[in-house]
Chains A and B, each alone.
Chain A
Amino acid sequence: MSETVLDVHNLEAGYEPGVPIVRGASITVRKGEIVVVLGPNGAGKSSFIKAIAGLVPITGGSVFLDGQDITTAPAHTMVRLGLAFVPQTENIFPLMSVEDNLRVACGILERRDIPARIEEMYAAFPDLVRQRRTAAGNLSGGQRQMLAVARALIVHPKVLVLDEPSAGLSPKFVSAVFEMLAGIRKSGVTILLVEQNAKAALAIGDRAYVLVEGKDRHEGVASELWNDPVVAELYLGQRPQRQQGGAA
C-alpha cells in the first residue's frame, strides 16, 4: 500500500459556531489515487472539501497533508503546502486573460520557471492555447473548467482537490472533464473530488466514500460501489443519482 498524501480525521466544520455541517468525517487519500466523495444532497460534501481547503472554519478533528498538520492553515497558504483546490463555481477570474489567470496562480513558483510552466499547461490543455489572450469569462463552460484545473495544477500540487467538477456542464463536457481528470491522474497527480454525478465519478475513481449528514458512512472500491446495496440505502433507498450530467 502506497503512502498517504491526505489524512482527514474526524473533521468537524461549519460556518456558524455550534452548527456543524461536517460532523466527524474521516478519509484518507493515498499517493496516485483518485478518491471520490459521494453523498445525497445536503450531506455536507461541499463544506467538507472546502473545510479541507481552509475555506470553512474547522471546529474539530485534523487534516494532515504529507504528514504535515494543515488543519488551521489559512486558505492562501494551501498551495504552498501542496493542496490545490478547484471550486465548483466562479473558479476563474472572468475579466483576466487566460494567460493572466494562469500567471496569477504562480506566486509560489520561481519567477524564471513561470513561462516554461505556463507552456507546459498549454501543452497539457491545448484548447487553452488559442484562447490565451481571451478574457476567461468568454470561455465555454468546459474550457473554464479546464482553465480552473490548469490553474490548480500549475503549482505542482501534492493533491488536487475538486468540488463537483461536472456541475453545470452539458453532458458533452461532463465526459470531457472526467477524461481530463483520468489523464491527470495518469501523469502522477493525486486527486480528491466531490461529485453528484456518481456514476461518472466512480468510473474514473479508485476508492470512494459516501458522506451522509456530515459523516463518512461507507467506504469502498469505486468500481464496486455502484452496485453496493449499502450505498443505495444511504441514498435514502434510491440508487445513486443517475444524472445525465446536469448540475444538482
Chain B
Amino acid sequence: MSLQFIVDGLLTGSMIGLGAIGVTLTYSILRFSNFAHGDFMAWGTYATLAVVSAIGATFGKVAPIGPLSFGWPLLVALVVGMAFTALLALLLDKVLFSRLRSQGQAIIVVMASFGASMALRSLLEFTFTSRPTYFSRAIQIAMPVGFGIRITPDQIALLALTAVLVLGVHLLMTRTQTGRSMQALSQNAALARIVGIDVAKVVRVTWIVGGALACVAGVMIGILVQIRPFMGFDMLLPMFAAAILGGIGSIPGAVLGGLIIGLAEAGAVQLIGAEWRAAVSFIILMAVLFVRPIGLFGVRER
C-alpha cells in the first residue's frame, strides 16, 4: 500500500475540517444543523473565482507566486470571497433563520436550511451552469518527499494555510472575550444573557467565522479538485460526520474529525476502490453515534 494516501487524506481532511468548524459552531451556538453550510462553500468559491477573473481582466496576466499555481490575485480574491460568504451567511440568517429561531423550534430551522441549500445551489447552477471550472489549468509537478509520497507546492501551501486558520480560530475561541462568549452561549444561552453577553452579536460572529472558513474550504477544493455548484453539497455528509466525530462544539474536535475522515476516505480508495469513498464518512458517522455519541472531544452534559 502506497503512503500517498496520507497526503491525499490530510488535504481532503483539511477541507472537511475547515467546513466542519462552521457546522459545529452553528450547531452548538445556534442549535441547528445548517444544511446550507456546504452551499456557503460553493458560493464563496464562485465569488472568489469571479474576483480572480475581474482582477485578471483589469491587470492582465499575473505571474504565480514561486512554485505555486496561483498569484496574488487569488489571495486578494480569497479575502474578498471570505467577506462575501460571511455576508451571505449573515443575510440568510437575517431574512430566514433568525425569524424561525425566535419561534423556538429547531426542526423548522433545519428544514429551512435544507430549502436554502437547494435554492442557493440551483442559483449557482443557473448562473454558472453545472459544468466544472478551475482556478488554474496549469499542471503542477509533485515533488517526492520520501516513503513514496509526492506532494505539490499548492498542497503544501494549503495545508499550512489550514494550520494557521485552525490555530487562529482556536485562539479566538479560547483567548478572547468574543470566543469565551461563544463558548458561554453554546453551554447555557439564558445564563449567557444574564452575564451580559449580547446574543445577537455573538450570533453574528459565529456566522462570520463559519462563512469565511467555508469559503476557504471551498477555494481549497477549487484549487486542488474543481469548482462545481455541487462541490459544497457533496461535502455536507463528511462535514457533519467530522463535527459529530470530534464532538459538537469542539473546534479541535471538528478539525481532527475532518482529518480522520479524510485519511479514512483516502485509505479506503486505495484498499477497496474509489466507489466506496462516500460510504466511509457514513460508516464513521454511524459508528460514532453508536459507540460514543458525544464524539472524541465531547463532554456529557452534567
Contact = CB atoms under 8 A, between A and B. Distances in A.
A80 B191 CA distance: 15
Contacts of A20: none
B103 interface: no
B177 A96 contact: no
Contacts of B301: 94
Interface in A70-88: 74-80, 85, 87
B177 A107 contact: yes
B196 A93 contact: no
B106 interface: no
A93 B190 contact: no
Interface in A40-61: 53-55
Interface string B174-212: 000100110110011011111111110000000000000
A151 B198 CA distance: 17
B196 A95 contact: no
B196 A76 contact: yes
Contacts of A155: 196
Contacts of B183: 93, 95-96, 100, 104
Contacts of A100: 180, 183
Interface string A15-40: 00000000000000000000000000
B185 to A, nearest CB: 10
Nearest to B301: A94
Nearest to B197: A76
Given A96-B180, A107-B181, A90 B191 contact: yes
Contacts of B96: none
A105 B195 contact: yes
A74 B196 CA distance: 10
B180 A151 contact: no
Contact of B194 (A78, A80, A96, A108): A78
A108 B187 contact: no
B299 interface: yes
B131 interface: no
Q: How would you classify the secondary structure of chain B's contact residues: helix, strand, loop or mixed?
A: helix
Residue with the greatest number of chain A CB neighbours at <10 A, chosen from B180, B191, B301: B191
B100 to A, nearest CB: 20
A176 B177 CA distance: 32
A168 interface: no
Contacts of B137: none
A131 interface: no
Q: Which of A74, A91, A107 has the most CB of B within 10 A?
A: A107
B61 interface: no
A42 B299 CA distance: 34
A90 B187 CA distance: 10
Nearest to A155: B196
Nearest to A105: B195
A5 B169 CA distance: 43
A74 B193 CA distance: 9
Contact of B196 (A90, A92, A107): A107
Nearest to A91: B191
Contacts of A87: 190-191, 194
B188 A93 contact: yes
A132 B108 CA distance: 40
Contacts of A75: 193-194
Interface string A223-234: 000000000000
Contacts of B199: 76
B195 A96 contact: no
Interface string B291-302: 000000001011
Given A90-B188, A95-B187, A137-B302, A104 B193 contact: no
Contacts of B192: 76
A103 interface: yes
Contact of A94 (B193, B196, B302): B302
Contacts of A80: 196
B184 A93 contact: yes
Contacts of A93: 183-184, 187-188, 191
Interface in B118-159: none
Nearest to A137: B302
A104 B197 contact: yes
14 contacts: A54-B193, A76-B193, A78-B194, A79-B195, A85-B194, A90-B191, A94-B302, A95-B187, A104-B177, A104-B181, A104-B183, A104-B184, A105-B196, A107-B177
Interface of B: 177, 180-181, 183-184, 187-188, 190-199, 299, 301-302
